Chain A
């Protein structure tokens, strides 16, 4: 099972570090990362393997959202199926 983590907001030091260390804490393996600047906004997308996650997925989502608040960025964690079904036939 894979999830997509998206981070959008004003660029600042340590975003990747903070998000990836939270992933490591909950045993979430990051399999791919891509990042870009869109209209002055920092956008990062991580594809993660959550099959060995050591916390309830819902709590992981809450933890990430909490981190988003402290970083003043918007962080979303969504199951990859939503993107598969919407953008691939």
Chain B
């Protein structure tokens, strides 16, 4: 018989501490859907996604019921569309976005990612046209997410792409200014993008992946915070790390179970579990509140980077043993608008973009879901991307930038998206001009760290 305390602990985690499976993401290769005629290619894309993913949502719903654990998002990631666009002799690349949107609607998923291009060393056929079409694609669709990889440790940073992305982010926000600039929330710029990431907006199905795969992302900041709160203030930091490790283990085992079960029921291979602490705007589901539980007055104060480094490392150590295959982004996420504690800290002025940049050096992603003034010049956005990519390139880690220029709003105003994306204050950006640096273009060479052979 089970220990009554263990059973009640599990139920409490789910009922009161917001433990859930954040996403079951099905990766689908579209490499066999290429065609020189874009309409034929779009039809093939639609047909393949609907054929393979039609059971995804019903199967996830069955699993939710059997195990009593909520699966918040069911998503699809596809081969970077720029690879399909490369075959088409047309500039109407945006048709692919509409095909993805139709497929997402038919199978009932929450998001579909992969309107992407990988240009870390340069532009290939299709890449340029795809990136130029991103603002239009994100304005005209609801479920499609776009990402662009502009740098890697192995190849350096493509500064031409960085320069371009500043303008594209601004255009995307402008095109959706009537809907709270939501387009920009569906666009991520990466350095060292992982090929098996189940989280949006940056999910795409890498070329080294199998035809079809199931990846799972877990979530549980509320559980970690509750465990720390229960343990009290007397633990030293070694004991805090140990407690987080044990909690992360339990959370990840749940993810592993769901991933295995989904894979078995769908007859699709299991890929990875992403060991993540992904916050939501719900009270009690915040990564910032974990840091504050550790003893910081407010997230963003001195000590935040150290606390986050401890948290991120302990999550990975606990999670690694719980899952047979670990991948994706794996670590604590710090998306500002999606985290009630981060929003509070940003409003109070304790949390600044500069501090967030430092935090991204020790956690899983990057400058995520940050609202900036709508009149921020494109080259400043490009420079923020370059800074963040440099952190990723030098530290051999994934970094990403998802900024939302709030068109027509100034520092201190607020923007709200609702739902899981949340909302928050427009944050201050240092606008001293990096224009000349960005205009130089070219490539930042790969660092010496890349020479490992």
On whether the beta carbons of B68 and A83 are closer than 8 Å, the reply is: no
Q: Within the complex, which residue of B3, B62, B68, B257 is in contact with A77, where a contact is CB–CB below 8 Å?
A: B68
Interface size counted on chain B using CB atoms at 8 A: 22
Q: Which residue of B lies closest to A1 (CB)?
A: B66
Task: Please indicate the chain B residues that have their CB under 8 angstroms from the CB of A38 in the complex.
Answer: 8
Does B7 lie at the interface of the complex (its beta carbon under 8 Å from any beta carbon of A)?
Answer: yes
**Total residue contacts A-B, CB cutoff 8 A:** 67
Q: Within the complex, which residue of A58, A83, A85 is in contact with B7, where a contact is CB–CB below 8 Å?
A: A83
CA distance A32 to B7 in the complex (A): 14
On whether the beta carbons of B3 and A58 are closer than 8 Å, the reply is: no
Does B65 lie at the interface of the complex (its beta carbon under 8 Å from any beta carbon of A)?
Answer: yes
Q: Given A57-B66, A76-B68, A87-B3, answer yes or no on A81-B257 (Cβ-Cβ < 8 Å).
A: yes
A5 to nearest B CB, angstroms?
A: 10
On whether the beta carbons of B68 and A78 are closer than 8 Å, the reply is: yes
Q: B15, B65, B254: which has the most chain A beta carbons within 10 Å?
A: B65
B64 to nearest A CB, angstroms?
A: 10
Does B10 lie at the interface of the complex (its beta carbon under 8 Å from any beta carbon of A)?
Answer: yes
On whether the beta carbons of B2 and A47 are closer than 8 Å, the reply is: yes
Q: Within the complex, which residue of B1, B15, B62, B69 is in contact with A82, where a contact is CB–CB below 8 Å?
A: B69
Q: Which residue of A lies closest to B63 (CB)?
A: A79
On whether the beta carbons of A83 and B65 are closer than 8 Å, the reply is: no
19 further interface pairs, Cβ-Cβ under 8 Å (given A79-B68, A82-B69, A83-B7) = A32-B1, A43-B8, A45-B1, A47-B2, A61-B65, A61-B68, A74-B15, A76-B11, A77-B68, A78-B10, A78-B11, A78-B67, A80-B2, A82-B67, A83-B6, A83-B10, A86-B6, A87-B2, A87-B3
Binding site for A on B (CB under 8 A): 1-4, 6-8, 10-11, 15, 62, 65-69, 250, 253-254, 256-257, 261
6 A-B pairs closest in CB distance: A78-B68, A87-B6, A85-B257, A85-B253, A82-B67, A58-B65
